[in-house]
Amino acid sequence: MKTRMDIGNLRLEGNLMLAPMSSVTNLPFRLLCRRYGASLVYSEMVFSEAVLQQSEKSMARVFTCEEEKPLGVQLLGSDAGSLVNSARIITESCMPQVIDVNLGCPAKSVINTGCGAELLKKPDDIGEIIEQLSGSLDIPLTAKMRVLGDAGKTLEVAHIIERAGADALIVHGRTQKQKYSGKSNLDIIKRIKRELFIPVIANGDIADERTAKHVLEYTQCDGLMIGRAAIGNPYIFRRIAHYLREGELLQPQTLHERLEDFFEYVELCRRYGILTFRDLSAKAMWFTKGLENIKPVRIRLNGAKDEGSILGVMNGLRGLN
């Protein structure tokens, strides 16, 4: 079983990646995941047209710092020329180590523009996009795809991506229609891995150490990408990496440790000027998820109307240590 991998000429320290997640994988969160051992972290998706217009909101999504590198920036678009030009702006402005193309977003607003998972229906366009991007970039290129209902068509797209010059392929084993329901199809991921020469990274439903080991062993993939299980729990990267290397489970984080991560997140948001009530409220819920006897606290967090109340509740928890 593999515990490290390379993407093109990029040497990674391990093979566990943080998935791109809109409204989740901002710089402070990516930093926490890196500190806990994520080998590569991906930004939220940014729309190529918005990058071309230098939209402040989009550029804030890819704001970075040296400590978090290696960073992958994910682009969303359907026009090869726009993607190439936006990738150029991104590589010049935030110097990521990887550019990724989104071939999986199932959101209606994205599908309606012909991007994300909708592109999977146009394999020739995908080939054109990957070929132009890989030809113009000096850094590795990855593509993150969902699977199609038809295994043959899924394999065809995977081969096109490889032939067009991508350095690695990330596969989320769900179809566009499934969105986030049902199970991630490991069999098709396994087939893709068997047929491709470039590294293949499995994504979908990796919830803990045991599922991580199972997915790696079953699919024989080169690496794993973790999304929802890391939300509010960046420590998962250390746990999984330790289990894959040593075969033993680490103790769960204590309440104190989990709270320290939350307050570190808040501190980083303040440092980068991105602390908002909405985000703080969501993160407080995430960082308290699954803790023992936490229900009354979460009810109070849910009812909190301002930043001060949330921090008050979380500070009160600190006092319980």
Ligand X SMILES: Cc1cc2nc3c(=O)[nH]c(=O)nc-3n(C[C@H](O)[C@H](O)[C@H](O)COP(=O)(O)O)c2cc1C
Residues at the contact surface with ligand X, assessed by CB under 6 A: 19-22, 24, 44-45, 74, 102, 104-105, 144, 172, 203-206, 226-229
Residue of this chain nearest to ligand X (CB atom):
227
Cβ at position 37, least distance to ligand X in Å = 16
Nearer to ligand X, 30 or 144 (CB): 144
Nearest-approach distance from CB 105 to ligand X, in angstroms: 6
Task: Identify whether the C-beta of residue 47 lies closer than 8 Å to the C-beta of residue 58.
Answer: yes
Concerning whether 33 is annotated as a catalytic residue, the answer is no
248 is written with which tokens?
A: 């033993």
DSSP 114-183: T-GGGGGG-HHHHHHHHHHHHHH-SS-EEEEEEPPSSHHHHHHHHHHHHHTT-SEEEEE-S-TTTTT-S-
Q: Min. distance of Cβ 217 from ligand X in angstroms?
A: 17
Say if CB 175 and CB 165 are below 8 A apart.
Answer: no
Smaller CB distance to ligand X: residue 217 or 306? 217
Query: Which residue, 163, 182, 185, is CA-closest to 172?
Result: 185
- Least distance to ligand X from the beta carbon of 291, Å? 20
| Of residues 102 and 176, the one with the C-beta less far from ligand X | 102
SS (H, E, C) 37-57: CCCEEEEEEEEHHHHHCCCHH
Nearer to ligand X, 262 or 286 (CB): 286
Among the listed residues 33, 65, 94, 105, the single catalytic one is 105
Residues that are catalytic: 105
